[in-house]
Structure 1
Amino acid sequence: MGFTGSIDWRQKLDVQRGAVLANELKNNACKLAKWTVQSLLAGSHQIKFGYVSRVNFRDSTKHSILGTQQFRPREFADQINLNLDNAW
C-alpha cells in the first residue's frame, strides 16, 4: 500500500498494468474522462498515459518514467464507460 492507502503501482505496473489503470480510474475518473474527451475533440488517433514516480519521495525535482500505455481514444472511452452525451 502507498502513503495514501492506494496500491503501490510502482511494484505492480509490469505484472498488473490493468489493475493499476483501474485503480487510477477509480481515484482520478474525472481527469481521465477529461483527457479522453480532449483527445476525441482534437481528433487524435491515440492517447498515451505515462507512469512516473519520484526517484526519492522527498525530492520533488527528480523523476523516473516507469512505463507508458497507449489507447485509441474511442476505444478507451468505451472501456471506461464514458458517456459522451454527458461530456458536453
Structure 2
Amino acid sequence: MSSIKIVATIVVKAGHRQELLEKFQQLVSASRREAGNISYDLHQDINQPDRLVFIENWQSQAAIDEHNASAHFQAFVNAIEGKTDSLEIILMQSISD
C-alpha cells in the first residue's frame, strides 16, 4: 500500500501570523518525530504571507489517526482556533509510477 499525502492550507487571520508561526514550527518538529511520519514540511505563500501550506507524507491511515490524536496536534488545533480565515485539508495517494 502506498503512503498517504496530506496538503493542508491555512490562511491565518491578519495579525496572528507571527504568533502562530511558533506553533506551526512546534507542530512540524513534533510530527517529524512520529513513527509513521515520512515527511512533514511547512511552506509560506510568497505573495500571500498569511497563507501557509503543510505538505505531509504518512505511512498509513493508522499513522494519520495517531497523529491527529497526539497531544502536540491537539495543542495545535486549540492554538489556531479563531485565528484562521480558512483551512483546507486534502488527502492524496500517488497514482504515478
TM-score w.r.t. the length of structure 1 is 0.25
Q: Structure 1 or 2: larger strand share?
A: 2
* Structure with more contact order per residue of length (Cα contacts < 8 Å, sep ≥ 6): 2
Higher helix share: 1
TM-score under structure 2 normalisation?
Answer: 0.24
